[in-house]
Amino acid sequence: MESSVRLSRRLQAAAEFVRDGSVVADVGCDHGKLAAYLLDSGKAAYVFATDIREQPLEKAAALLSSRNYDRRSECVLTDGVQGLPGDRITDVVIAGVGDDVTEKIIRDASWLYDPGKRLVLVPSSKHERVRTFLAKEGFSVISERAVFDKGHSYTVICCCYDGVIREPDIAEKWLGGIDVLSEDGRKYAEVLQRRMSAVAEGIRDKNDPARIEAEELLSRIDSALKTAGHNVSG
């Protein structure tokens, strides 16, 4: 069903990863638009909208109530998913927070370490650290999508726990499952390319691990972009 709620490109991509008919925890719900959209569209049967701040949670509650979703939603003042019924929730969206907060939310909720749960993550920073954390904690990436939104590159990661501990290689750490053949994927790779060029140029010691990693990643990005038909040099 079509929703009248208009989401940012990041939240739209996150919504598409949520499974149909799921019970969702929208962590850091802010204005409540994602929760309302998920209920409007039928993607969610029930939504727990959470925030650590009272003011945005009140806005979310007002929006959901105005759409007659009082019986299909609950607004909870909490840190992450603390106090939520993990046995009921199937999908968890964590958007708009940094790598450290994302990791803490996951670590503090043992019930997320369950193959039946789906996590949809939209970290605001340090995507490479989130990917490394997931791999080392035994979470497998189902799909990942780059999103270029309001002049910035983001990633939306859809994953679940499989218990297999991994040490990600450089490409997995920095590019993950992003498809550089897509327009937004190319932009994401180009942003990384500029960032790694600055790192490599700023370190004089050729044997420095950070410079070696940056140069290897630059080589991989350059190869990927050329394969995609974009002759962008590092």
Per-residue pLDDT reduced to its tens digit, 179-218: 988 999 999 999 999 999 999 899 888 888 889 999 998 9
Q: What is the pLDDT of residue 232?
A: 46
Q: Do 87 and 14 lie in a common domain?
A: yes
Q: Do 77 and 14 lie in a common domain?
A: yes
Q: Do 192 and 151 lie in a common domain?
A: no
- Over residues 152-180, mean pLDDT: 94
Q: Do 149 and 207 lie in a common domain?
A: no
Alpha-carbon span 153 to 148, nearest angstrom: 4
Q: What is the pLDDT of residue 229?
A: 64
**How many H helices and E strands in the chain?**
8, 7
| Least-confidence region, from 31-35, 63-67, 149-153 | 149-153
Q: Do 31 and 139 lie in a common domain?
A: yes
What digits encode the pLDDT tens for the residues 76-114? 999 999 999 999 999 999 998 999 999 999 999 999 999
Is the separation of the CB atoms in 76 and 86 below 8 Å?
no
Domain tally, the chain = 2
Q: Is residue 15 part of a domain?
A: yes
93: Cβ–Cβ under 8 A, 6 or more apart, which residues? 14, 18, 24, 25, 26, 27, 34, 120, 121, 122
Find the domain containing 212 and state its range. 183-227
Q: Compute the chain's Rg from CA coordinates.
A: 19
Q: Do 196 and 145 lie in a common domain?
A: no
| Nearest-10 crossing angle of helices 127-137, 99-107 | 20
Q: Do 18 and 120 lie in a common domain?
A: yes
At 123, the pLDDT band (50, 70, 90 cuts) reads very high
105: Cβ–Cβ under 8 A, 6 or more apart, which residues? 27, 79, 80, 81, 94, 97
Q: What is the pLDDT of residue 231?
A: 45
Average pLDDT across the chain, whole number? 92
Residue that terminates a domain, selected from 174, 193, 219? 174
How far does the chain reach from its first CA to its final CA, in angstroms?
45
Q: What is the pLDDT of residue 234?
A: 41
Q: Is residue 105 part of a domain?
A: yes
Q: Is residue 3 part of a domain?
A: no
- Chain centroid to CA 74: how far? 23
Alpha-carbon span 103 to 84, nearest angstrom: 17
Q: Do 105 and 132 lie in a common domain?
A: yes
Q: Do 169 and 199 lie in a common domain?
A: no
CATH number (domain holding residue 72): 3.40.50.150
Q: Is residue 77 part of a domain?
A: yes
Q: Do 146 and 213 lie in a common domain?
A: no
- Over residues 42-52, mean pLDDT: 96
Q: What is the pTM (predicted TM-score) of this model?
A: 0.92
